[in-house]
Structure 1
Amino acid sequence: MDASLIEVQRQAILDTVRHAGGREWKVLVVDEGSKRLIDNAVKEDDILNENVTNIEQIEHRRPMNKETDALYILSALPHIVDCVMADLERRRYRKYFLVWTSSIRSIADAIPILDLDPSMRSRINGFSAARELIANMHVMNISFFPRESRLAIFRDPWSFLTLFHPACNNLVRSHLIELAQKIVSVCVSLNEYPLIRYFRPKDASHEASVLCAHLARFVQDELDEYAKHRRDYPVPTPRPRGVLFITDRTMDLAAPLVHEFTYQAMAHDLLPIKEGDRLTYRTVLNQGQETEETRDMEITEGDKIWVNSRHLHMKDLLGKLAEDFKKFRAQNPQFADSDLPASVNTVKDMLAGLSDFQEGKNAYTLHLNMAQETMRLFQERNLADVAAVEQCLATGVDEDFKKPKNIAEQLVRLLDDDAVGPSERLRLILLYLYYRGGLLAGDIKKLLAHSQLPPQDGEAIYNLGLLGARVEKPLKDPKPPRQPLFSQKLPQQPQEEDVSISRFETNVKLMLQEQIKGTLDNTIFPYTRPYLEDESTPHDQVAQSSLRSAKPTWARTRPVAGDPRQRIIVFIAGGATYSEARSCYEISQQTNKDVFLASSHMLTPGLYLRQIRDLSVDKRRLDLPSERPKPQAPAHLFERDPSPKPKPPAPPITGMASMNLSNGPEAIKRKPTNETSSATQVETPPPSSGKLAKKEKEKSKEKKKRGFFK
């Protein structure tokens, strides 16, 4: 069974919920950050089925529940620790099972801390009743979002600006430490204590050229510290020891600019897909019918059409959709007699009359609409001609794998084409600058004027220098032409037209191919530490690995049935592209390796251009999360219940009215009052999710039916 980051994290969360408190009923308490992590991997009903009465958020007002245990799954942040302390002091629950989603360290001194910052841990341990109330406290490394089975992101698009903006130098160190923590979470979740290699560019002069080296060192220190305190890490396995690559966006400046014509990448490039906690696309369902509606459709890993088709070339995708519909007609007699050809329009017309299987019908309609819209934009924006020039600029060779001729004239012709939009024009200019290894200052101005781009796009061109590109060069340039990081192989046979506009291969894919063959350059991709042939891994729990002994194993590129698959993790600082994600899947399918990709966020060409422009924006206008005021625990958590008011003595008349004359004055009784003292009042919680809440709601409805409140 293939390894899946989504399933690994789902099982980790459910196992934690299942084992906390045994079979006792419990409340699950989360915070805003940990809730997003949990919701991304696990359905709420799956959690409630594990003896969880309801799910509460620690920042919200909640009722006292002193008769029930509580499982906390929380982000390791100072204000969240304050919230926990408030709950402990009020003894809100019976017992506390504290689980942190990641380790944290003291940023000030950057000393690795296994669990909590010492000051936070001492606050919890220093509470007098902590030993009595806290049943267990540990770290569950899940501080990342599995986007796909082989793709993990941190949902941090500000990472690019933090790493490469010249005014953010004071933030880089702490941000690298934060990234290292999350990378370690990915490794620990996969039970990998990997060898670490990092990207070290040759003859680099830009300031960010050392980012990968520093990040690799932080990750190595974190992994070593984690293994030092956990003798069971990693769990013994027959797999060869994994490899972790630390790279950044500067390793491949062309990948986010080149038009990609596989379904997923093309859709994210051309269509208004919304990315947030959910991935959605607005489309029309039941078009032309009485039930026609416009809806935001979610694109998930449960969508088989999406998962099976996202890496197909658009030509192959359209053929696959038609072929799948042909099979559908054969399996459904009501459509089998139709002689209409199985085209995309035919499929849409047939689906419009299908009332059953609504969910599957909507998913099919979604992808038909997306495919049609992407192909419409492909024709409208003349992307075939744009891509032909892009491929020459990105690869350095034409479709015959020779040096391109008249490439400048082809570029200018496209800049004059009204069908080519501003975004495509800027992408072409950036690729041309990268291809030429810099331009004369006058030529840059001419290209900008000719393309009629706004001044901020001129800033984007010069900002590319912050990523290692050479922007300007003198008239007589003594430097040799830029050499590609990897040389691309010539095809064995002539290529079709649709393949010729997809010749470009990402450097991630070429790096992985060299790694598997055992020919990856150790000077450009060094290890964080030398590994000798007689050096075993920590605790002797993993097969020995070294530069020499590992080479024959990695050189075996053909999959062998039954062999344990080595895992390779690639981290790209500053954002990853969908073409790079596809590359990792392709290498996994072609070899006996499991390749995983991790990054701060996913880059579309539009986002990449916007972030390059922002590299020259005043830092104060960026609104970086690390520069915002630190969140504080809500004040209501520290509010004390008001002291109970003393009951006033009963008036004599009241006493006389309740006197039993037959039994003497000793039988005087007070009538019960309907007033409730303030001491018994509790905070009114917001509507919560859970089985008990649903049962109470049903009881209330039943009482109203019987007339109990009349």
Structure 2
Amino acid sequence: MNVIQAVKMYITKMTEESGPGMKVILMDKETTSIISMVYSQSEILQKEVYLFERIDNQSKWDNLKHMKCIVFLRPTSENIALLSRELRHPKYGVYFIYFSNVISKSDVKTLAECDEQEAVREVQEVFADYLAVDRHLFSFNITGCLHGRMWSQQHLQRCSQGLLALLLSLKRRAVVRYEAASEPCARLAERVRDLLRREAVLIDNNIPFNGDMPMPQLLIIDRRDDPVTPLLNQWTYQAMVHELLGISNNRVSLAHLPDVHKDFREVVLSSDQDEFYAKNLYSNFGEIGQTMKSLMEEFQRKAKSHQKVESIADMKNFVETYPLFKKMSGTVTKHVTVVGELSAAVARRSLLDVSELEQELACHADHARHLQRLKGLLSNESVSDHDAAKLVALYALRYEKHASNALTSLMDALKGRNCPEHLMKAVVNVLEYGGAHARQSDLFGLQDAAKITKRLFKGLNGVENIYTQHTPLLKDTLEDLIKGKLRENLYPTLGGDDGYGRRPQNIIVFIVGGATYEEAYCVHQINQAYPGVNVVLGGTTIHNSTSFLDEVKSAMQGVHRTHTRHIKNV
């Protein structure tokens, strides 16, 4: 189950079926992102695609009849209308139309009626209707999917259709399970189940039935169950870049940096296109420093060996290795720039101190000591307002029911340091969004005897790194599912209990409210630890702490506060 490979296969099919000759790809906003996640521009050019156009914003060139047009669109009513207009007055010679999901017969009929010049050669469904972020990670790029506990209908439809496409692209039938206490998870599970029933013939035609294997499971869970993971600073390369710089569709903007070279104002970080990044996604920050040093030394060695170009043979040798040399030069410069900025941010914002306390709050209970250290960091001017607010939010979640809870005085301390109002509101929103009343799970292991024992042993054994003590709740949930221990009353199966008790080998987890790169790393570890088990993780989006606070704000907008009315000042 490799989502990058699945999407790539469809894009390759589209470019090859149109045959040789100059081609243009006509896309919408979402399919542009879907393609750019798995193919670089140079790779697409090799497939004779010389022009990239958006259907909602085409260039004014008229005479392009010599070009074949590959149309790749989501089957929305807006796109059908735009494509109908295109076909009435075709700009290109012939059209090969591919929709990223199931299209209705009535829409196909509408397009056929508009194709008076008979320019259309193909109309097909391909099921590349999601962003393939990594081999085992996908997203729909939706922030703010819920209002309170209710779905936006548009987002519910997008996620259910996307999950159907995912199953079809991975050629997997699936039992649907969901978090029982979550209304949004139940709604999405029902919608996916209905789509699977409606498209039963399509599924039978595309997915072979294997009665001997346990059915793959699609598990739908709620971000509210673990509001802690997205609040933590990260120390693995990929997650750290997202937290401190932000990754959007595999792209990182460095335009805000002084003196950054114009070629590196925006850099692409794709595990599929960048060998160094693929090898070091999950390396911690200390290891990255050492690896960068080795990369620099290797580059310098190669650079020196190319300084002597004296004979024709030398020149030939240099020209042959030049593309590799140039590529290595770009890779070195790119990662040195990124790692340099991460390092500067860590020092500037006292992130070692901040992160140590975050991990302590997430993993241990020691109220008096935590409160004292938190007050100390709130008075430290190098700690950013964003980090200060996150620390108070973590304290609020950990000590919500504590007899000596000092949240009011901490909110006063935030106010005293002139913390912006939206960040003060964020603390209260996080507690309202993901406090004890909103969670099905025992997030901090306060009730479950097995969890308490596990935490005690973990404490006794010591932790290799104080900055990576935390493991997401997802790890426990997945391990229970793999061992056949995930309780049916907490995670029911739609349409009966045919998934319960059997140990699934293929698992797709979808987090309503967004996943994180820390959870993607956790899935990577589980895939390595359990041979034969294959887990894919998806979310409405991939969060860092900033986008998570936006998610919470959106969900809480205009919602009546019921559990945080006692908190004044906000």
TM range (shorter): 0.7 to 0.9
Residue 165 of structure 2, aligned match among 185, 195, 209: 185
Q: TM-score, normalised by structure 2?
A: 0.80
Counterpart in the other structure of 2:141: 155
What are the equivalent positions in structure 2 for 1:573-592 lying under 5 Å apart?
573-592=512-531
Kindly indicate whether residue 532 of structure 2 is the aligned counterpart of residue 600 of structure 1.
no
| Distance change (3 Å), C-alpha of 1:483 and 1:467 | farther
**Within the alignment, does 1:387 sit opposite 2:355 as a pair?**
yes
Structure having the higher Rg: 1
Aligned residues of 1:433 and 1:439 also touching (Cα < 8 A): no
Distance 1:231 1:517 in 2: 29
Contact 1:102 1:185 (8 Å CA) reproduced = yes
CA distance in 2 between counterparts of 1:55 and 1:381 reads 41
> Partner residue of 1:298?
268
Q: State how 1:73-92 maps to structure 2 within 5 Å.
A: 73-90=72-89
Instruction: Name the counterpart of 1:433.
Output: 396
Matched residue type, 1:63: D
CA distance in 2, matches of 1:31, 1:135: 20
Q: Which residue of 1 is the match for residue 110 of structure 2?
A: 123
TM-score normalised per structure 1: 0.65
Indicate the SS of the match to 1:256.
Answer: helix
Deviation at 1:286, TM superposition (A): 11
Q: Please, which of 359, 368, 372 is the counterpart of residue 409 of structure 1? A: 372
Over 3 Å counting, the alpha-carbon distance change for 1:595 and 1:430 in structure 2 is same
Residue aligning to 2:233: 259
Secondary structure of the 1:596 match is strand
Alpha-carbon shift at residue 428 of structure 1 (Å)? 1.4
8 Å CA contact retained: 1:281, 1:298: no
Does 2:128 align with 1:142? Answer: yes
- 1:387-422 per-residue CA deviation (whole Å, 9 max, x = no partner) reads 33322321244xxxxx66533233223323333221
Q: Is 2:243–2:545's contact at 8 Å kept on the other side of the alignment?
A: yes
CA distance in 1 between counterparts of 2:106 and 2:220 reads 31
- The one-letter amino acid of 1:518's match is G
In the alignment, what sits opposite 1:35?
32
Residue 336 of structure 2: which of 358, 362, 368 is its match?
368
Contact 1:26 1:52 in 2 (8 A): yes
Aligned to 2:15: 17
1:303 deviates by 1.9
- What SS does the corresponding residue of 1:364 show, helix, strand or coil? helix
* SS of equivalent to 1:406: helix
Q: Any idea what the Cα deviations from partners look like across 1:486-542, whole Å, max 9, x if unmatched?
A: 82452397435x61332110011221122222222222222222244xxxxxxxxxx
Runs of at least 5 residues in structure 1 that lack an aligned partner in the other structure: 104-114, 202-208, 336-353, 398-402, 473-479, 533-545, 555-565, 620-710
Q: Report the 3-state secondary structure (helix = DSSP H, G, I; strand = E; otherwise coil) of the residue aligned with 2:218.
A: strand
Q: Deviations over 1:550-577 (max 9, x none)?
A: 23xx5xxxxxxxxxxx332221122221
After superposition, the Cα gap between the structure-2 partners of 1:442 and 1:413, relative to the gap in structure 1 and judged at 3 Å, is same
CA deviations 1:406-465 (Å, max 9, x no partner) are 332332233233332212221111111111235799943321112333433332233224
**Other structure's SS at 1:196 match:** strand
Aligned-residue CA RMSD in angstroms? 3.9
User: Does the CA contact (< 8 Å) of 1:436 and 1:481 recur in 2?
Assistant: no
Per-residue deviation, residues 357-394 of structure 1 (Å, max 9, x unmatched): 24323322333343344344434433333333322321
Provide the rounded CA distance (Å) in 2 between the counterparts of 1:235 and 1:481.
42
Report the AA paired with residue 34 of structure 2.
L
Q: CA 1:507/1:426 → structure 2, altered by over 3 Å: closer, same or farther?
A: same
- 2: CA distance, partners of 1:125 / 1:367: 50
Superposition map of 1:662-677 within 5 A: none
Q: Identity over the aligned pairs, expressed in percent?
A: 20
Q: Which residue of 2 aligns with 1:646?
A: none
Could you tell me which of 491, 501, 522 is aligned with 2:458? Answer: 491
Question: Using the alignment, how far apart are the partners of 1:33 and 1:324 within structure 2?
Answer: 36
Give the CA deviation at 1:179.
0.8
Find the aligned partners of 1:485 and 1:295 in 2 and give their Cα distance: 51
Q: Does 1:572 align with 2:570?
A: no
Q: How many pairs does the alignment contain?
A: 528
SS in 2 for 1:264: helix
- 1:139 counterpart letter in structure 2: E
- Is 1:609 the counterpart of 2:562 in the alignment? no
Aligned residue type for 1:37: I
Partner residue of 1:310?
281
